[in-house]
Chain A
Amino acid sequence: MISLASAFTLYTLREMANNRLFYITLIFAGAGLALASFLAEVAVTEHEAVQTALLAAAYRFCAVFVLMVFVVSTVVREFNDKCMELYLSMPITRTLYFVGKSAGFVVCGAIIAAIFSTVMLIYASFADVALWGITFALELAIVAVFAFFAALTFHQHVTPALFITFFFYVLARSADTILRISESDIVDITLGNMFIKFMLNCMYYILPSLEKFTRTDWLLYGAEYPALGLVAVQALAYCTLIGAMGLFDLRRKNL
């Protein structure tokens, strides 16, 4: 069974190669490096810190965008080309297919994180970049699994799947800010405001705190390895939650 799941994982990696994702990542890495170097020339001090901060932010955004588009387009294409029906007509359970594909997408995210982390070694020490890179891979794992879930839910529509994934990522990155906003004093205690506060609190508890992942502070001011444990637990728990929801949806689909 493991070999069947790993076959889907390897085919997902092959899909990554066929989509030129590796080359796109390298192009982004080079372009980002050039742009950050150019912008840092404007800085009169802290050149490396400016480059590091801007580059890290740009790489994170690019990686999330590229992976999100790759996952959604792959799944939608499999639906449209009837590949999924072909796979499921074989003696392969839906769970096996889902786990194999999810693992493949997570490995793709890890490869992208590794490429960008290698570039960041120019600006930070190995220990700092290692923590940043590991949490980056975990962040991309969450995005990949969510994108897979979104693509399964909107299986013939790329746009809503991409939109919901992007919206999820933006909200997850702002989860702590959302909580701070909901805890701020509301001048008028009205039913509407209380409902909004309740919804903001619900959003905070549902969303992963991606602010704690891939922190630029670690590259600028040194890694804080005690944070890795909580981040890893958050990533595992959230991937399990979203994975279970995706599997729930897949098992109920009429295919």
Chain B
Amino acid sequence: MRFAWPRLRFRFIVAEEYQPLRVVPLWLWMLIAFSASFQASYKYRNPPEAATAGSLPEPPTAAVLDAAAFGDHPALAKGLTLWLQAFDNQQGISIPFRELDYTQVAAWLGAILDLDPRAEYPLFNASRIYTFVRNEPDRVRVMLDFIREKFREDPANRWEWMSHAVTMAKHDLKDEALAREFARELRVLSEGHPEVPGWATQMEIFLLEDSNEYDDAARLLLNLVESGEITDPREFLLLYERLEQLLTKMIEAGEVTSRQQFDRMEQALDKLRSSYLKSRAELEEQSR
């Protein structure tokens, strides 16, 4: 048998297989026109129900989502993310965030993240979209708690969102204690993960200094220097100078009330300086 490649022609409908249009009777044309217009008017007069904010359902269980993914978890995760994101902005109406059940929103974001743990979209939404709701601190706290919970599961890859949560707690919620709590957790859980940058782990020091908590800030900085986490001279100098400025500010504000307190604060600075110089010397010795 000799094989011959077919001539490929782009013809889906071959004209000569059909009779001309005039053979179609008038009643059939009328029937098609009537049916089509009836269908269009029926849909026009029966639009889909306007969704209300209260109708965000509970997310399905992990087992159900696992089955529904048919082995393609990232695709389902992305699809669900788009659906959830568009939930507050449906056809004809825009649901304010303050009317969304944030507990359900957090549950959905958690379910989506469980489907695709390496995705950043759910945490982005939690930190940059759903926290933009004015005068609703409780809703913002729900999102921040969600970010904290997810950060604990994977500190190496989700530190960025936790650092954003620290910023949100300090500047939007004006909750210094919560911001320090987040910053402390960020520092502690980032130990052993070199991919977390120094500025993120040092957020706690800055917060302590901003709160005039000199002793805690100095102690923390000393710990970081002694554990070898701060080795860059410029980085150390920045943090050291801030501590010196804090001391000066506290003196000027009259918060240093005794000679003993002043001596203790000066000793802390000296100890810090000498620890840093010692760790630098050890580092240079090792590199030789």
Question: Which residues of chain A have a CB within 8 Å of any CB of chain B?
Answer: 7, 10-11, 14, 17-18, 20, 22-23, 39, 42-46, 49-50, 53-54, 56-57, 60, 170, 173-174, 176-177, 180-181, 184, 210-212, 215-217, 220-221
Question: Does B28 sit at the interface, judged by CB under 8 A?
Answer: no
| A45–B77 CB distance below 8 A | no
Q: Given A7-B1, A23-B10, is A43 in contact with B120 using a C-beta cutoff of 8 Å?
A: no
Query: A180's contact among B12, B66, B118, B124, by CB below 8 Å, is which?
Result: B66
Please indicate the chain B residues that have their CB under 8 angstroms from the CB of A216 in the complex.
72-75
Encode contact with A along B47-86: 1 for CB under 8 Å, 0 otherwise: 0000000000000000100110111111111110110011
Please indicate the chain A residues that have their CB under 8 angstroms from the CB of B125 in the complex.
44
In the complex, how many angstroms separate the beta carbon of B133 from the nearest chain A beta carbon?
16
Please indicate the chain B residues that have their CB under 8 angstroms from the CB of A184 in the complex.
63
Query: A49's contact among B71, B119, B129, by CB below 8 Å, is which?
Result: B119
Within 8 A of A (CB), among B1-48: 1, 3, 5-6, 8, 10, 12
The 3 closest A-B pairs by CB, nearest first: A211-B71, A57-B75, A173-B70
Question: Does B236 sit at the interface, judged by CB under 8 A?
Answer: no
| A49–B78 CB distance below 8 A | yes
| B121–A45 CB distance below 8 A | yes
Question: Which residues of chain B have a CB within 8 Å of any CB of chain A?
Answer: 1, 3, 5-6, 8, 10, 12, 63, 66-67, 69-79, 81-82, 85-86, 118-121, 124-125, 128-129
Q: Given A57-B75, A180-B66, A184-B63, is A10 in contact with B3 using a C-beta cutoff of 8 Å?
A: yes
Main secondary structure of the interface of A (DSSP, over half): helix
| A174–B6 CB distance below 8 A | no
| A50–B82 CB distance below 8 A | yes
Nearest CB to that of B83 among chain A residues?
A: A42
Nearest CB to that of B12 among chain A residues?
A: A20
| B12–A177 CB distance below 8 A | no
| A46–B119 CB distance below 8 A | yes
Cα distance A55–B288 in the bound complex, in angstroms: 54
Interface centre among A49, A173, A176 (most CB of B within 10 A): A49
Nearest CB to that of A172 among chain B residues?
A: B71
| B72–A18 CB distance below 8 A | no
| A17–B121 CB distance below 8 A | no
Cα distance A60–B69 in the bound complex, in angstroms: 13
Cα distance A7–B1 in the bound complex, in angstroms: 7
Nearest CB to that of A219 among chain B residues?
A: B74
Cα distance A212–B12 in the bound complex, in angstroms: 37
In the complex, how many angstroms separate the beta carbon of A215 from the nearest chain B beta carbon?
8
Cα distance A28–B58 in the bound complex, in angstroms: 34
Cα distance A60–B5 in the bound complex, in angstroms: 28
| A45–B124 CB distance below 8 A | yes
| B67–A174 CB distance below 8 A | yes
Nearest CB to that of A175 among chain B residues?
A: B71
Cα distance A42–B163 in the bound complex, in angstroms: 26
Q: Given A18-B6, A44-B124, is A54 in contact with B71 using a C-beta cutoff of 8 Å?
A: no
Query: A220's contact among B63, B67, B118, by CB below 8 Å, is which?
Result: B118
Please indicate the chain A residues that have their CB under 8 angstroms from the CB of B66 in the complex.
177, 180
Please indicate the chain B residues that have their CB under 8 angstroms from the CB of A180 in the complex.
63, 66
| A7–B74 CB distance below 8 A | no
Can you list 25 contacts pairing A with B, beta carbon distance less than 8 Å? A17-B6, A20-B12, A22-B8, A23-B12, A42-B82, A42-B85, A42-B86, A43-B85, A44-B85, A44-B128, A45-B120, A46-B119, A46-B120, A50-B78, A53-B75, A54-B75, A56-B75, A57-B72, A57-B76, A57-B79, A60-B72, A173-B71, A210-B71, A215-B72, A217-B74
Cα distance A215–B71 in the bound complex, in angstroms: 8
| A53–B124 CB distance below 8 A | no
Known: A18-B6, A215-B72, A216-B74. 9 other contacts (CB 8 A): A11-B3, A42-B82, A44-B85, A46-B78, A46-B119, A56-B75, A177-B71, A210-B71, A217-B74
Cα distance A17–B76 in the bound complex, in angstroms: 34
Nearest CB to that of B129 among chain A residues?
A: A44
Q: Given A23-B10, A43-B121, A45-B120, is A54 in contact with B63 using a C-beta cutoff of 8 Å?
A: no
Cα distance A220–B76 in the bound complex, in angstroms: 14
Q: Given A11-B3, A14-B5, is A53 in contact with B78 using a C-beta cutoff of 8 Å?
A: yes
Cα distance A212–B71 in the bound complex, in angstroms: 8
